[in-house]
Amino acid sequence: MCAPGEGAGILLTNLPPKGWMSYEALSKKRADLIMMRLTGNFDGSPAVDYTVNCSSGFSIATGADHAPVNHVLPVWDVAAGLYLSTGLLAAERVRSREGRGQEVTLALSDVMLATVGNLGYIGDVQVNGVSREPIGNHLYGAFGRNFASADGREVMVAAISNRQWKALARATGLAERFEMIGPLMDVDLHTEGGRFHARHAIAAVLEPWFAARTVVEIGERFDGSGVLWGVHRDFRQLVEEDRRCSTDNPMFAQVDQPGVGRVLTPRVPLSFMNTPAPLPSVAPTLGDDTDSVLERILGLTREEISRLSDRGIVGQK
């Protein structure tokens, strides 16, 4: 990590900045060190995704009542990972231009708070004096909801723009019935807000249409029609049914994972015009890269690495 070279001198850690792990201590060995440190809260106190999410407002706004929902997606961990990679790239860009390193810190709770603020929920409370209420599976601010099909599946439909709304009305053949809702409820269904206000009435018209058709039949009506729709799937159904989650998608490949067998594996989802996308790779086991890092980056000899291994300092336990 402290070895010379353009590709070195970068450290990502979630350990406290104490003793030899502090930026001050490590930067003495390499002045242009980039150190990215993840904390739980801005004051350095600990937190994890679920203890952060419970304070975000989303666990209360999810669902149909005020009972909190601990969703299974560790969204703040995922978002923090993206911020960490962006922060490292930004710091490395500064170093490549100006030759100086720096310490960059990111608090998991700040990732949550920035997102809540950027989405307007903090402003909604301060400006409008309101807090978003739980509305079940309805799409907030427009029309969207899940519907049960004849074969026991759940289909999600959304109509945000007027074009999508007209496409839904055309594909279902329910345009005339939809037109009756506006005057009855005194709302304009050509607006997102109008459709949101009338969401229960719209859903009541759509429910029997979906209940009379299988997912395949619904797909025959919706595919290519301009309707925004999708099928709710569990993880098995995703793998077995969704063409996007297969080698038809160039992001995926079958990888021979040692000790496991062939596994459908994604690569980085970015695709660059002039840079070949990296192929999906085998997941390394703990310690696979230790010798390479010690030898290639830190410049240790094979003998030195062997002595460290014999003493139990490096290597797998």
pLDDT digits (tens, 9 = 90+) for 36-79: 999 999 999 999 999 999 999 999 999 888 789 998 999 999 99
Residues 90 and 196 in one domain: no
Residues 106 and 55 in one domain: yes
**CATH code of the domain covering residue 153:** 3.30.1540
Residues 24 and 124 in one domain: yes
Residues 162 and 92 in one domain: no
Over 90: is that where the pLDDT of 204 sits? yes
Number of domains in the chain: 3
User: Would you say residue 246 lies in a domain?
Assistant: no
Which domain range does residue 78 map to? 10-128
Q: pLDDT > 90: what percent of the chain?
A: 80
* Contacts made by residues 80-89, CB under 8 angstroms, sequence distance 24+: 80/38, 80/106, 80/108, 80/111, 83/111, 84/12, 84/36, 84/38, 87/36, 88/10, 88/12, 88/34, 88/36
Q: How far is Cα 182 from Cα 192, in angstroms, rounded to an integer?
A: 13
Over 90: is that where the pLDDT of 225 sits? yes
User: Would you say residue 242 lies in a domain?
Assistant: no
pLDDT of residue 3: 47
Residues 157 and 91 in one domain: no
**Secondary structure of 2-29 as H, E, C letters:** CCCCCCCCEEEECCCCCHHHCHHHHHCC
Residues 295 and 211 in one domain: no
Q: How far is Cα 101 from Cα 91, in angstroms, rounded to an integer?
A: 7
Q: How far is Cα 214 from Cα 198, in angstroms, rounded to an integer?
A: 26
User: Would you say residue 297 lies in a domain?
Assistant: yes
* Class of residue 9 by CB neighbours under 10 A (exposed 0-12, middle 13-18, buried 19+): buried
Q: How many residues does the chain have?
A: 317
Contacts of 217 (CB under 8 A, 6+ apart): 150
Contact 162, 238 (CB under 8 A): no
Q: How far is Cα 266 from Cα 250, in angstroms, rounded to an integer?
A: 9
Residues 79 and 162 in one domain: no
Residues 117 and 161 in one domain: no
Number of neighbours of residue 13 by Cβ within 10 angstroms: 12
Point out the least confidently predicted range of 47-61, 118-132, 236-250, 279-293: 279-293
The sheet that has 102-107: what strands, in order across it?
10-13, 34-39, 102-107
pLDDT of residue 6: 60
Residues 67 and 157 in one domain: no
Q: How far is Cα 151 from Cα 157, in angstroms, rounded to an integer?
A: 17
Active site residues: 77
pLDDT digits (tens, 9 = 90+) for 253-301: 999 998 899 999 999 999 999 999 889 989 888 888 888 888 887 889 9
